[in-house]
Amino acid sequence: MAARHIPHTMRKLIGTKLSPNFREATAIVEAPVPQPGPSEVLVHNRFVGINASDINFTAGRYLPSLEAPYDVGFEGLGEVVSVGADSKLKIGQPVIYAKFGAFADYKVVSSKSVIPVPSAKPEFLSLIVSGLTAALSLDKIGEIKKGENVLVTAAAGGTGQFAVQIAKEAGCHVIGTCSSDDKVKFLQTIGCDRPVNYNKESLKEVLKMEYPDGVDVVYESVGGEMFDLCVNNLAVKGRLIVIGFISGYESATGFKPSRTATLPTKLLSKSASVRGFFLNHFWNDAGPVMAKLVQQVLDGKLRVSIDKGENTNHGPFTGLDKIQDAVDYMYSKQNKGKVIVELISEQSKL
């Protein structure tokens, strides 16, 4: 087993109880640095990604048998510092991965589960969950076609930014919801045809007046009243993709249904559909899509907005101690693009 000099202990964020309150549910602890098995690698994390679903995990909604203490965090980017005997990866290679327990200084990952990237730029980390969710769901579930109207809710967020650009690349007209004029300007820079600041405009009225025939595809991550509004404005044969219900994640009930009693009638009358998407079910399709996304970033064809909280009272988000702040920040709806926490910098590696 090849390896660089590695400390014996590390810090990691763990769940100490089950709760939708991420700050109350988590704490930093010292732990031994894990050793990779024959087909595994040890990654020294440089950046970790924040997801709305981090709260769903601490609430116990993904793994019903989950008991404290448990590891948290879904995605990391770092440098391979130790490799098992059967691994073909190299020491020093930058990689990204999506595995439980990413909120740690070091993480052991199967060699088959890491994706080598050209460099340790945080932009690449945003692709593995947020980018792939947008690309695969719009293709496999949304079946978007050139000329269709596509509505993206939370369009200025970590995954919404990709949905906007991917739909535009497919030749669609894109409507995007957001919460501020600053985000409206951001959406315009990535090609959104009709940004809607729902704090200033009524999305219901915009859709009624400007899209009387409805929208063909909805990329929906908000839930609640937004979900109802989107269903009501589906076009004939429209498809609504459910990638999340962020409006309910912080509540004790979580995935609380909205006005579902009338849903069958509404869908039947338009031959429309509501379709769920969970990335874990589509990993077999991820390889070539991921390669395309990375190349588009390198070519400047796909813009990636990273938000490390530089302009916040608690920012910038540097170190494990800032992960709780970063989760709170994302739920405050202030972020533009993917929220990232930097664990180690180039300077600290010297």
Tell me the domains of the chain and their CATH numbers.
Answer: 2-120+305-349 (3.90.180.10), 133-280 (3.40.50.720)
Over residues 228-239, mean pLDDT: 96
pLDDT value, residue 206: 98
- In three-state secondary structure terms, 312 is coil
Question: Which pLDDT belongs to residue 253?
Answer: 62
State yes or no: pLDDT of 350 exceeds 50. Answer: no
- How far is it, in rounded angstroms, from Cα 340 to Cα 273? 34
Does 347 have pLDDT greater than 80?
A: no
pLDDT at 272: 97
Q: Which residues pair with 157 in a beta bridge?
A: 337
How many angstroms separate the CA atoms of 290 and 131, rounded?
8
Residue 194, pLDDT > 90, answer yes
pLDDT, mean over the chain: 93
The answer to whether residues 165 and 193 touch, using CB atoms and an 8 Å cutoff, is no
pLDDT at 319 over 80: yes
Round to whole Å and give the CA distance between 126 and 75.
Answer: 9
- Nearest-5° Cα angle at 24, 343 to 315: 35
224-232 and 203-210 helices cross at what angle (nearest 10)?
Answer: 10
Residues 6+ away with beta carbon under 8 Å from 97: 43, 75, 76, 107, 109, 113, 114, 115, 128
CA 167 vs CA 109, 147, 148, 326: distances in Å:
33, 10, 9, 28
Point out which residues pair with 10 in neighbouring strands. Answer: 31
Can you tell me the distance from the alpha carbon of 332 to that of 106, in angstroms, rounded to the nearest whole number?
29
Quick check: 348 pLDDT over 60? no
pTM for this entry: 0.92
Average pLDDT score over residue span 123-130 = 96
Q: What value does the mean pLDDT take over residues 100-127?
A: 96
What are the tens digits of pLDDT across the range 134-189?
A: 999 999 999 999 999 999 999 999 999 999 999 999 999 999 999 999 999 999 99
Confidence of residue 104 (pLDDT cuts 50, 70, 90): very high
Q: Is the pLDDT of residue 207 over 80?
A: yes
Confidence of residue 292 (pLDDT cuts 50, 70, 90): very high
Give me 138's structure tokens. Answer: 């719009």
CA count, 13 A, side-chain hemisphere, 150: 32
Work out the pLDDT band at 315, boundaries 50, 70, 90: confident
Residue 259: what pLDDT? 66
47 close to 107: Cβ distance less than 8 angstroms: no
Within 32-121, residue ranges assigned H as helices are 53-58
Cβ contact 12:105 at 8 Å: yes
> Using CA atoms, how far apart are residues 92 and 109, in angstroms rounded to an integer?
15
Helix then strand then coil, in percent of the chain rounded to 5, is: 35, 25, 40
pLDDT tier for residue 256 given thresholds of 50, 70 and 90 = low
How would residue 257 be classed by pLDDT, with cut points 50, 70 and 90? low
Each residue's pLDDT tens digit, 3-20: 567 999 999 999 999 999
Give CA–CA dist 106/343, Å, rounded.
10
Report whether pLDDT(2) > 60.
no
